Chain A
């Protein structure tokens, strides 16, 4: 017998835990001692987090101004269908100090930046400053690849072409005098977009790079003139352009326009009356869109959003209820162990 074991035939399978399916293993079971406390614990934690989120969200101040001008009473009503340059202004008051830093957003609704063809209608290589794609943009940009004279458009595509071009000025009425609130347009785009994803061609002056190209058809001025005062905010790395190009996930969205961080307003907007002056250029009437301006401050968990807090509280409560139900079931039915 012993001898036989020593001379194992090559046909005999190996005796390893793997081949014999005897690997050591952890075999968890959904037992009451784990499941019920787990539900209770998760429930408690969720309620805690939920309450914290809810309070945080509630403390965030938000001022929303719809300036679409659908209503004939609205100061911007006249601009609604106007194709010429048009300016309108709205007044609003802030009852208490609007804690800073305050963020100035513009918002659009019913606007499908997430439409597949719309979103795809751009050329990343071109936006990366690759001059080869200046002369022959990607066909993804159709029908904004070339203009009627077959000149290549830079930046090409529907996304760039439809860039939001309303501009705003905010003024604070101090003792009857309109005082302009300084708006900071720096650093409103993602760092990676500004520094990596979008680049101007390394040609100075920038305008030379755009020889033989055309500006997008809807644009009043070419991309190299977006901000002639600041080379680091011009061309493809213009912050407003970057914000626009980061397309929204949902048809109702808002995008950062400016930050209010300067001078007297660094600590926030004091209580008082304010006037918002709008250079109304962007047409939304045709597709029943809405335009709005949002002033908001933020917390550690971002902007105002009550949903998360409420959801945590609800889910947490359900977990607690469930754990009680399970406890009752376990105590009453406790499954028969006989096999």
Chain B
């Protein structure tokens, strides 16, 4: 194996040798992708290490060790060991399961097949076995498995088409072209396997749009740029085959480099919980210190005198015994941070995730895709979203263009009414009779149109209508493909053109084939070949495209389509009346957010044309200023046009998008659109999904320098601030880390371009940007790179104390999905990148409202109630020990029986609170949709915050006081009905713990649970029954016989629960705990009802909500010009007329 051309090129540090078989020589990355964490052997040590690095688990391990020390062990070791073991195994199983799923996904991606050239023949290889330097063969619709240098292709000029939507979200096909020197090899296996190129290039990086390198072949150097590189994540389209040389593999690929680091996401409640747990530790230390001091004082005053009955152990003086007491109390009171907290939280999240997976209303039958909660630890945050960052293509839109309306010679043809998309629309379109195109053999069966009158007009032979469609069939850059006669496929660079040419095809003007000099069209069944004299190509300045053709009769005509404003400037004065009518139609189209084009033609005189063609030839062969000269020529001929009409193409939104956006807006969620698409397109979508409205004032930032961007932002900001109340202005300070929410009067929108965004995201401007953007109702960022998307998300995360959600479908959204608190992927599409890195996935944007307004809200409410309840029950439970300390010489004597301590959190109170955390609903889903305002408590963090925690601690302190002091007072000197002792420690323990069980269950039962399913009832009564059954069992003779020393409470239950005064005491205790809460809640509901109270009340009165009245969207007539239906870049005109372009068959 020879290495040819070993020239040193110091500026490029990365070198690839084609077909070099001794791969071990170089440290290249393998193409296999690994996202999993463990293997079979590393699982146990690694997982245990991870689990013990969590504060809570380490703490319990520490406690367990403490309990093994006899001097301080106040409770037996099993009270901690059993729960800890359960906790570790539950999380271990969950982690293992997650990792197995990751292994499966990795395996699926790594095992995709691709053809690799090995020893002169093609072999199927798995993706993971591809190595740098391999030459691989790709076919149409295949994914590119690694970053490749394109070598050759089946298409003329060594072109291939790729779709990069996965990478940058741009939907139009892109052209890549191989170097001639490699392209000559074609698909000759011998040449390819003998190819010894050496590519020196920049090291792996994350810039998608740049590549620099040199390819050395036979000593000759050739520059290589981005046009010759195929990136992983692209899809090959419309290309029979191509060959590529692998240059970056696996994690070196630009896609992977761009995907950002995977960070472990924690919810805000998680963070709050961590803070609270730390506070509780502090609290615990404080009360233990109090007890220690108490212990020391007691030992000095009482204990030293009591030594006749309880002598000190040798060597244990007061300081040492106080030191022991401290740790003993740590053990006794540790239940304020219950070990089961974390496990229960995880289980509730897991359960709520399953409900998302199971939801039929988020299942998309057309793609057979159910919703999926891929991360099961973020649920409650779904109920706190404040900002949504959405991609456009494939997320808001379907990425399908449909020919929707047209205006021909002043007559408006409308395909179906553009109505509200939420369900209604589907019904109408499916029930409405479609225009039958069966008379036309060449019609595209997928084309749908509803206005019969247009077909009638066509069949009547209306000349204008015919000219209209003739124009559509002639003036474009689409390539036809007819593999079998009659089976016609179009290859269009933009979906707009495809839609227009297909419309013409179905209405009888079938574009059949083209050569560089001619276009053949079947006109109402008659084959007509036009001579193509010139193509006046599209570009972003001209905003129009024209063709000049000569028909078989020799008439020469110019056909032009373009943005309406541009065409209108060039019309013949005689069209003015038609122009007015068409304008009203265009306004209507724009109001509906459709992409429009105006169509016009011009008959050309022979003499003029000949002269023009001569000049054209001169200009196009000119060496200097060719572009300018051609432009002048084009301007010259594209005048005095005759208007034919206008077309309206719908960039089809996904079903229900405007309704969803409206609902989310009502829930006070802000939606920002971040798209790689151009400004007009993005703006148009903004209008069509109601985010931008006619009455809004819209600021557009498109400047190209930092200063200009700053100026534009400041202008907008001043304009916004002027509407604010004067005093509110001063609240804002640059120093604060968080930017407060500011409200402005009126509605504003902000549109910012990617290149301006690059400046605006710099440190000195980012606050200006954020502030301006947050005051606007709608923000659209267009032409942004994947990294910028992530930066925008990070910006909001950094300065706004708000939860963000990013939703997207392509690989270009991955970084944003990872950056946001919650990432949502649109599944069911071809690419999987977005879904793989997302936390939740589903098939349709409209499911977002169900995910947030129903699942998110419920999860949030459930989690908050769960946590409040959990802290309540544990504080109430633990503080009783504290009060008892004052009466037992601060000796760390527990109030309850050891078995009760072991079972309390794991058994007695675990299940019913889980049922609360899994099944509770304040109102059902239909009411949730009816009142999206119900969502706002989550955004404001009302249900669980430091404040509510403090309140919760106060309530539980009260409960513990009642729980201790009522039995304390009632039992003073009390005896049984037969005079025997009942004021003993064991009876006291039993009555206190029974009261606690009842209080904790009753509190939950009547106050916290809103939604009592049979399961809740079962768990609640089951817990109480289990408590009684277990208590009686553990206090029974049988167990005492077998394990004498473990069950010292023998007989206590029988002896004391027979006594009416014990029951009366417990009854009083329970009611005294619960009644104040009932009274408080009732009064609170009367005096300051929350939105939840009101809706619950209404729901109770009315049952199910009345369906919201169907409101057709207001018919808007826009004076705004909507975007023109060109979505490709210039240059295709040359391509289609290029002789080499056509396949040599």
Q: Which residue of chain A lies nearest to B920 when distances are taken between CB atoms in the complex?
A: A25
Do A103 and B979 touch across chains, with their CB atoms under 8 A apart? yes
Give the residues from 783 to 814 in chain B that come closer than 8 angstroms, CB to CB, to chain A. none
Interface presence of B609 (CB below 8 A): no
Q: For residues 1055 through 1070 of chain B, which have their beta carbon under 8 Å from a beta carbon of chain A?
A: 1055, 1059-1061, 1064-1065, 1068
Is B748's CB within 8 Å of the partner chain A?
no
Contacts of B985 in A (CB 8 A): 113-114, 119, 247-249
Q: For residue A123, which residues in chain B have a CB less than 8 angstroms away from its CB?
A: 1045
Shortest C-beta distance, B396 to chain A (Å), equals 25
Q: Is residue A259 within 8 Å, beta carbon to beta carbon, of the partner chain? A: yes
- List the B side residues contacting A158 at CB < 8 Å: 309-311
Interface: B1132 (CB within 8 A) = no
Determine how close the nearest CB of chain B comes to the CB of A148; give it in whole angstroms.
Answer: 13
Mark contacts of A1-35 with chain B using CB atoms, 8 A cut-off: 1 yes-contact digit, 0 otherwise.
00010000101111100011111111111101001
Given the complex of chains A and B, what is the CA–CA distance between A29 and B1011 in angstroms? Answer: 10
B635 at the interface (CB under 8 A from A): no
Q: Across the interface, do B979 and A256 meet the contact criterion of CB distance under 8 Å?
A: yes
A100 to chain B, nearest CB (A): 11
Find chain B residues with CB under 8 A from A124 CB.
1044-1045, 1048
In the bound complex, how far is the Cα of B31 from the Cα of A314, in angstroms?
78
Residue of A nearest to B298 (CB): A112
In the complex, what distance in Å separates the CA atom of A252 from the CA atom of B888?
Answer: 11
B44 within 8 A of partner (CB)? no
Interchain CB contact (< 8 A) of A128 among B370, B1012, B1044, B1093: B1044
| A121 in the interface (beta carbon within 8 A) | yes
Cα separation A296 to B979 with both chains bound (whole Å): 9
Judge whether B983 and A308 touch: CB under 8 Å: no
Stretch at the interface among A173-181, A224-232, A298-306: A298-306
Chain B residues with CB below 8 A from A243, complex form: 981
Selected contact of B972 from candidates A32, A196, A252, A287, CB within 8 Å: A252
Is the beta-carbon distance between B314 and A143 smaller than 8 angstroms? yes
B1072 contacts partner chain A, Cβ-Cβ < 8 Å: yes
Q: A66 to chain B: closest CB distance in Å?
A: 14
Most chain A Cβ neighbours within 10 Å, of B306, B858, B1096: B306
**In the complex, A65 has a CB within 8 A of chain B:** no
User: A114 and B893: CB pair below 8 A?
Assistant: yes
Question: Does any Cβ of B come within 8 Å of A55's Cβ?
Answer: no
Residues of A within 8 A of B452 (CB): none
Cβ of B1091 within 8 Å of any chain A Cβ, yes or no, is: yes
- A319, closest chain B residue (CB): B1075
B986 neighbours in A (Cβ, 8 Å)? 246
Q: Which residue of A lies closest to B311 (CB)?
A: A143
Among the listed A11, A22, A49, A116, which residue makes an inter-chain contact with B891, where contact means beta carbons less than 8 Å apart?
A116
Report how many A-B pairs have Cβ atoms within 8 Å. 292
Interface-side segment among B80-88, B356-364, B575-583: B356-364
Interface footprint category on A: 35 or more
Within the complex, what minimum Cβ distance (angstroms) separates B671 from chain A?
24
Q: Digit string of B1063-1099 for contact with A (CB within 8 Å is 1, else 0)? A: 0110010011001001101110111010101111111
B1045-A125 in contact (CB<8A): yes
Task: Assess the A248–B983 pair: CB atoms within 8 A.
Answer: yes
Say whether B1060 contacts A298, CB under 8 Å. no
In the complex, the answer to whether B1064 meets A308 with C-beta atoms within 8 Å is yes
Q: Which residue of A lies closest to B923 (CB)?
A: A27
CA distance A25 to B1017 in the complex (A): 10
A111 to B1010, CA, bound (A): 49
Residues from chain A with Cβ under 8 Å of B1051 in the complex: 190-193, 196-197
**Is A339 interfacial (CB-CB < 8 Å)?**
yes
Residue in B931, B983, B1007, B1015 with the greatest tally of chain A CB atoms within 10 Å? B983
Q: Which residues of B contact A11 (CB under 8 A)?
A: 363, 368-370
Which among B924, B933, B989 has the highest number of chain A CB atoms within 10 Å?
A: B924
User: Given the known A-B contacts A49-B1064, A247-B984, A315-B1071, are A115 and B310 also in contact in the complex, defined by CB atoms under 8 Å?
Assistant: yes
Q: How large is the interface on B (under 10, 10 to 19, 20 to 34, 35 or more residues)?
A: 35 or more
Asked if A39 CB lies within 8 Å of chain B CBs, one says yes
B746 to chain A, nearest CB (A): 26
B446 within 8 A of A: no
Which stretch from B417-425, B831-839, B963-971, B1121-1129 is at the chain A interface?
Answer: B963-971
**Residues from chain B with Cβ under 8 Å of A311 in the complex:** 966, 969-970, 1068
B230 within 8 A of A: no
Given contacts A21-B355, A39-B1079, A116-B888, contact A142 B1050 (CB under 8 A): no
Which residues of chain B are near A193, meaning CB under 8 Å? 1051
Considering only residues 969-1028 of chain B, those with a C-beta below 8 Å from chain A are 969-989, 1006-1007, 1010-1016
A117 on interface, CB distance cutoff 8 Å: yes
Shortest beta-carbon distance, A188 to chain B, in Å? 7
Which residue of chain B has the shortest Cβ distance to A110 in the bound complex? B302
Complex: A143 Cα to B1014 Cα, angstroms: 56
User: Chain A contacts of B302 at CB under 8 A?
Assistant: 110, 112, 287
B1086–A196 touching, CB < 8 Å: no
Given contacts A304-B973, A305-B970, contact A117 B310 (CB under 8 A): yes
Q: Which of A29, A247, A249, A259 has the most CB of B within 10 A?
A: A249
Distance in angstroms between the alpha carbons of A301 and B744 in the assembled complex: 70
Given contacts A35-B1078, A192-B1050, contact A308 B1068 (CB under 8 A): yes
User: Which of B925, B972, B1089 makes the CB contact (< 8 A) with A307?
Assistant: B972
A103 to chain B, nearest CB (A): 4
Interface pair B1011/A25, CB less than 8 Å apart? yes
- Chain A contacts with B in 266-312, Cβ cutoff 8 A: 283, 286-288, 294, 296, 298-305, 307-308, 311-312
Known contacts A53-B1064, A190-B981, A333-B1087: does B1078 contact A24 (CB below 8 Å)? no
Q: Which of A69-77, A85-93, A205-213, A322-330 contacts B (4 or more CB under 8 A)?
A: A322-330
The verdict on A337 contacting chain B, using a C-beta distance below 8 Å, is yes
> Across the interface, which residues of A come within 8 angstroms of B983, CB to CB?
248-250, 253-254
Q: What is the CA–CA distance of A110 and B1016 in the complex, to the nearest angstrom?
A: 47
Given contacts A305-B972, A326-B1082, A335-B1085, contact A117 B891 (CB under 8 A): yes
Which of A42, A191, A296, A308 is most buried by chain B, counting CB atoms within 10 A of its CB? A308
CB of B1061 within 8 A of CB of A302, answer: yes
CA distance A118 to B303 in the complex (A): 11
Contact: B1045 with A25, CB < 8 Å?
A: no
CA distance A103 to B1078 in the complex (A): 43
B977 touches A302 (CB 8 A): yes
Distance in angstroms from B853 CB to nearest chain A CB is 14
Is A138 at the interface (CB under 8 A from chain B)? Answer: yes
Q: Smallest CB–CB gap between A217 and chain B, Å?
A: 10
A103-B979, A315-B1071, A329-B1087 known; A12+B888 contact, CB < 8 A = no
A26 lies within 8 A of B979 (CB): no
The docked-state distance in angstroms from the alpha carbon of A41 to that of B784 is 68
A-B contact pairs, 30 of them (CB 8 A): A4-B365, A9-B365, A11-B370, A20-B359, A35-B1078, A35-B1082, A110-B302, A113-B985, A114-B891, A115-B889, A115-B891, A116-B74, A119-B893, A128-B1044, A158-B310, A158-B311, A248-B984, A248-B985, A253-B973, A254-B983, A286-B308, A287-B308, A303-B975, A311-B1068, A312-B1064, A334-B1086, A335-B1093, A336-B1089, A336-B1094, A339-B1098
* Chain A residues with a Cβ under 8 A of chain B: 4, 9, 11-15, 19-30, 32, 35, 38-39, 42, 46, 49, 53, 101, 103, 105, 107, 110-119, 121, 123-125, 128, 130, 138-139, 142-143, 158, 161-162, 188-193, 196-197, 243, 246-256, 259, 283, 286-288, 294, 296, 298-305, 307-308, 311-312, 315, 319, 322, 325-326, 329-330, 333-339
Q: Which 7 A-B pairs have the closest CB atoms?
A: A192-B1051, A249-B988, A287-B305, A19-B358, A162-B309, A116-B891, A116-B893
Contact residues of B with A, CB < 8 Å?
A: 70, 74, 302, 305-306, 308-311, 313-314, 328, 355, 357-361, 363, 365, 368-370, 858, 887-889, 891-893, 919, 921, 924-925, 931, 933, 966, 968-989, 1006-1007, 1010-1016, 1037, 1040, 1044-1045, 1048, 1050-1051, 1054-1055, 1059-1061, 1064-1065, 1068, 1071-1072, 1075, 1078-1079, 1081-1083, 1085-1087, 1089, 1091, 1093-1100
